Structure 1
Amino acid sequence: MSNLSPASLIQSHAQVLLFPKGGKPSLVPNEWQVWDAQEQGKLPDLENSKNKVLVPFTWWCAQMDSSQNEADLLAKAKNGQIGVWFAADDDILKHEELINAGKQYWPLVAAYFPLFRDGRSFSTAALLRDRLGWDKEIRMIGDVLIDQLLQGARVGFDSFALRHDQNLDVALKQFDLFTVTTQNSWRGKRSLLATS
């Protein structure tokens, strides 16, 4: 299956749907741009920009290995300007130590859905929450449709950059559709049904 690059990513809205654990869903400005090192070359200028940037996790790993820009990147991440995005085929458990270190400086991470029908990034969010103890924001990016929101919220996503053709008002209502949950999730235990 071919992975679309984030540069060819279907455009998302200027707002993202934020649904923090224990909170209510709301729309907030999307301050993060997704950067693809292969397609776009040089890291965007963060000094003269109000935007923040999500860099590919594989690029971040390469930068940490080279130590050339490590101090500058860590400073920008600690300043809230840089987060990382995971491709659908990134083996995050292989990089557990680096991700645990990232808890100190990445303000958010994202998991990329190259296609709506490719669900590998659901596992990324679940592993980040359950195995690696990630407690900051995890954003769903890429080919994100309204149909994915409930599953995404269940496995650990708490923000969603929906594809530009998705209706944000309809998206906000998705979390009120069901009052009973039949599976445990990152958000809590399943509902106990009364027996007669």
Structure 2
Amino acid sequence: MSQLNITSHQEIVHFPKDGKPTLAKNEWQIWGGSQDEGGLPDLEHGAHKVLVPFTWWITHHHEADVIAKAKDGQIGVWFATDDDILKHADVIEAGKTVWPLVAAHFPIFRDGRSFSTAALLRSRFAWSGEIRAIGDVLIDQLLQGARVGFDSFALRPDQNLDVALKQFDLYSVTTQNSWRGARTTRATLSA
């Protein structure tokens, strides 16, 4: 796996299912999996929480120290756009018991496959924990992301966080089902 450099603001937009959007400190470093020939970054100094690639987790999820660090809230997982999460349902089911956070990576804002990853995690895997959007995440993606299951967003550094918070109040009525709840309006037929 090549070195991955995902940058974002030092704060994330956090929008829990039954809450209001807020800014929160981004405590998670995103690791590409290639440093130290496959070993985890140093969690004792600097950032104490790391998101590891799902492909790395598949290889290392049986290791006692990896499981212990995940249970301790130090290791979460991020999914690449080409990760076949349905193929690895058993690994995800086991991971649900230890992962404090999962993320889906947007390599470029035009690539929407991570929306499907979030929707699958919510609907098929009944993931109830935090799902974060990482990578090339723009303000324009927040509403759609929140509807399919994302509840935190690590925006690209050039995005304005104050403007981002206002995105969730743009529309008061939705006409489609969403992870956040049923439709707010229903069409009625008159006889």
TM-score calculated relative to the size of structure 2: 0.93
Which of the two has greater helix per residue? 1
Q: CA deviation at 1:50?
A: 4.3
Q: CA deviation at 1:182?
A: 1.0
Aligned pairs for 1:49-128 within 5 A:
49-64=46-61, 67=62, 70-128=63-121
Matched residue of 1:169: which SS? helix
Structure 2 stretches lacking a partner, 5+ long: none
Match of 2:4 among 7, 20, 30: 7
Q: What is the rounded CA distance, in whole Å, between the counterparts of 2:35 and 2:94 in structure 1?
A: 27
Give the counterpart letter for 2:153 in structure 1.
F
Structure 1 stretches lacking a partner, 5+ long: none
State the number of aligned residues. 188
Matched residue of 2:57: which SS? helix
Pair 1:20-2:19 in alignment:
no
Structure 1 runs (4+) deviating above 4 angstroms are: 193-196
Cα RMSD between the aligned structures? 1.8
Among all aligned residue pairs of Structure 1 and Structure 2, give the percentage whose two residues are the same amino acid: 70
Q: What do residues 4-41 of structure 1 show as CA deviations (whole Å, max 9, x unaligned)? A: 967233x2000000000010000000000000112664
Q: What is the rounded CA distance, in whole Å, between the counterparts of 1:106 and 1:194 in structure 2?
A: 40
TM-score calculated relative to the size of structure 1: 0.90
Q: Is the 8 A contact 1:5 1:114 kept in 2?
A: no
Pair 1:166-2:159 in alignment:
yes
Matched residue of 1:55: which SS? strand
